[in-house]
Structure 1
């Protein structure tokens, strides 16, 4: 089994990857786990602290090769408000329920949950199905030593 020695951010120059690994939002934040690449190679990730594997980043393996990290497409809701103030209120209600959200200028993305959908529609939101990679904000109590991963605008 190959062993990952570090995580390289997306903007790091490196040779072509040995393979790729595609992970959902919840799977990209970890400290110790055996991951399986697209080609079936097992990689042991055992870091001293929790890391967030960045989309487009890579795991550097002990033999010097790299495995590129990809964000999986997920079943989400795209939430839109009538205007910016309404969208901010909707974001507050989502956050009040401790629900991970991707914050963008004109919409919020959350994982599909019929109860939240009904609540948001009751608050006047337009809620549509979306299937795309999810880059939610990490909570205020997570490590601040990481690079930001959520996108404000795409």
Structure 2
């Protein structure tokens, strides 16, 4: 079976694809998996490391042909707010819960979750149920396509975040709904005189 061993980054390719795979968010984060394109091409995705594929990426087959990645529509909610400050506040609460979030021009998209929907409505935002491709932000600690994709000539030099301790939990604030332990290695005591 022919293998796909590399990823060509979002829209950084011009030739016509040999086939297309339509994948939801979960199936777009794989390292090794047999796939069948919409035109019947069967191949083995065989990457060195798991990569979060995005709609518009191309999988490069061993013979040089490309298979286009299309993000499948899935059940989402779109969150709309009164103004940009309100949107940032709601976005902060989503990020604080480490929820994959897609940033749109006029709102945020997340997967449907009745608990989070209730929280967002409680913050005064509107919730619209939609079916659409889900393409959330990779996050500050995501490697993106660094392991398997062609480099973007316009991007700044990157380094491997996995080899550094960024003190992740020391960088963000949690509210009363935080559900994990904190061991920051520093005291929160204050000297009052």
TM-score norm. by structure 2 comes to 0.69
Give 1:5-154 correspondences, 5 Å limit: 5-143=5-143, 145=146
What RMSD, in angstroms, separates the aligned Cα atoms of the two structures? 2.0
Instruction: List alignment gaps of at least 5 residues for structure 2.
Output: 153-193
The TM-score with structure 1 as length reference comes to 0.85
Of Structure 1 and Structure 2, the greater strand share is in: 1
Determine helix, strand or coil for the equivalent of 1:31: strand
3-state SS of paired residue (2:118): helix
Return structure 1 stretches of 4+ with deviation > 3 angstroms. 144-148
- Judge which range, 3-12 or 76-85, deviates more: 3-12
Q: Deviations over 1:34-87 (max 9, x none)?
A: 222113332211211222223122111112222111111111101011111111
Unaligned runs of at least 5 residues, structure 1: 149-154
CA distance in 2, matches of 1:40, 1:135: 25
Deviations 1:117-143 (A, max 9, x none): 111111111000111111101233321
* Mapped partners of 1:141, 1:11: distance in 2: 23
Number of aligned residue pairs: 148
Q: Using the alignment, how far apart are the partners of 2:122 and 2:103 within structure 1?
A: 20
Max Rg structure: 2
Give the aligned partner of residue 151 of structure 1.
none
Deviations 1:77-104 (A, max 9, x none): 0101111111111111111222110012
